Amino acid sequence: MSSENDDRWNEAMALLLRWQAAPEDARAREDILSFCSQSEEHRLAWESAKRLYRLTGMATGAPEHAEKLRRKRQLTRRGALAGIGAILVGGAALKGPETWRRWQADMVSQVATIDQQTLPDGSRLILGPDSAVQVRFTPTARSINLLDGMAMFDVLPDARPFEVRAGSFLARADQAASFEARQNNGSSLIGVSAGAVEVASGNSRADSRLADGDWIAEDAGQPKPQRGHRDPTQIALWRNRKLIADQNRIDAVVAEISRWHEGRVVIADWNLAASRVSGLYDLSDPLAALQAVVSPYGGRVRQITPWLTVLSSV
């Protein structure tokens, strides 16, 4: 799409968002008519914006018998519009964080790809899909910073401690151990498959000692880290293309599933994003997994293009 076409499309989307925010605004309607009358390209840009808007499940012109439902959903739709507007009108900015992350990283994996690396001390790193880490080994320390995504570590004994930073968690193994770290959309987790790991959190005064099968997690919706235990074979289950959610926020679950799917996945509903789900999801079919995540809340998955998938509750 040329820069000129981009400008027309962005202007059409801005007019559409303005009209939806105030459908009785006569001036907004006049501006839309004026925009469409400028050329056939302007009219097509307007139709394209409307078509995408309808595809996200928020079509205009609800019949009178649905007026009550429309009003009930008004806040949800406006939240969705803001989200879609940010994605579509400012779409180029979306690549900023990803580019910044990759510049910072020492190791980066591709979408739907699991990479295995041998670290300088002989320990093994299994890097999940679309993930990035920094590696800092010195004569006195072994440090990993998980910038984004997930990673599994098989740590060999060494005189130096082995430390992994994931969000506000700092996990430390002083002996041989196997554990995972995850960071998805502001939610972080440390889970131990074998051995012992000490975990400090910026949100907790006391350190936690995790052993086989123990995990600790935190997200923005919880005042303090949550702890639990599962079969050690279920730690880092993403290595087998499976994901277990245990009352996790939908936005964090979607962020993890999205690492197995080419293109952007957008949750166009803030209430849906903050809802919680539990379940076992098959990452080998990301779209089906996404539908399974949002279905308990009446959500829908719409693949607008191969590069954009929108989740919404309307």
Q: What is the pLDDT of residues 243-281, one digit of tens each?
A: 999 999 999 999 999 999 988 888 888 889 999 999 999
Task: Give the number of domains in the chain.
Answer: 2
What is the C-alpha separation between 271 and 266, in angstroms, rounded? Answer: 13
pLDDT score, position 205: 62
Phi and psi based region of residue 184 (left: phi greater than 0; alpha: psi -120 to 50; beta: remaining): beta
What is the C-alpha separation between 54 and 161, in angstroms, rounded? Answer: 55
Is residue 247 in some structural domain?
no
pTM above 0.75, yes or no: no
For 224-252, give one letter per residue: b (16+ CB within 10 A) or e: ebeeeeeebeebbbbeebebebeebbbbb
The reply to whether 79 and 117 lie within a common domain is: no
Is a pLDDT exceeding 90 seen at residue 237?
Answer: yes
pLDDT per residue over 108-149, tens digit each? Answer: 999 999 999 999 999 999 999 999 999 999 999 999 999 999
The reply to whether 117 and 29 lie within a common domain is: no
Is residue 314 in some structural domain?
no
Residue 84 has a CB neighbour count (10 Å cut-off) of: 23
Is residue 242 in some structural domain?
no
The reply to whether 85 and 144 lie within a common domain is: no
pLDDT score, position 47: 81
Can you give the residue range of the structural domain that contains 197? 102-236
The reply to whether 71 and 144 lie within a common domain is: no
Residue 250: which of 269, 236, 228 has the closest Cα? 269
pLDDT score, position 90: 35
Looking up tokens 């130096």 gives: 160
The reply to whether 153 and 88 lie within a common domain is: no
Is a pLDDT exceeding 60 seen at residue 151?
Answer: yes
Secondary structure class of 174 (helix, strand, coil): coil
pLDDT score, position 132: 94
pLDDT per residue over 54-81, tens digit each? Answer: 654 443 333 333 343 344 344 444 444 4
The reply to whether 106 and 214 lie within a common domain is: yes
Q: Please state at what angle helix 3-21 crosses helix 74-89, rounded to 10 degrees.
A: 170
Alpha-carbon torsion, ordered 105, 106, 112, 113, to 10 deg: 180
Q: How confident is the model at residue 203 (pLDDT cuts 50, 70, 90)?
A: low
pLDDT score, position 66: 33
Residue 255: which of 143, 167, 144 has the closest Cα? 167
| Mean of the per-residue pLDDT values of the chain | 83
Please compute the mean of the pLDDT values over residues 78-86 and round it to a whole number: 48
Please compute the mean of the pLDDT values over residues 84-113 and round it to a whole number: 62
Is residue 218 in some structural domain?
yes
The dihedral built from the CA positions of residue 194, 198, 201 and 204, taken in this order, carries a sign that is positive
Looking up tokens 């990673």 gives: 151
Q: How confident is the model at residue 101 (pLDDT cuts 50, 70, 90)?
A: low
pLDDT score, position 270: 84
CATH number, domain at 182?
2.60.120.1440
Q: How confident is the model at residue 312 (pLDDT cuts 50, 70, 90)?
A: confident
Domain C-terminal end among 189, 213, 236: 236
pLDDT per residue over 21-43, tens digit each? Answer: 777 888 888 889 999 999 988 88
The reply to whether 231 and 115 lie within a common domain is: yes
pLDDT per residue over 168-197, tens digit each? Answer: 999 999 999 999 999 998 899 999 999 999
Please compute the mean of the pLDDT values over residues 100-112 and round it to a whole number: 85
Of 163 and 22, which is predicted with more confidence? Answer: 163
The reply to whether 108 and 83 lie within a common domain is: no
Is a pLDDT exceeding 50 seen at residue 91?
Answer: no
pLDDT score, position 38: 94
What is the C-alpha separation between 143 and 171, in angstroms, rounded? Answer: 10
The reply to whether 106 and 126 lie within a common domain is: yes
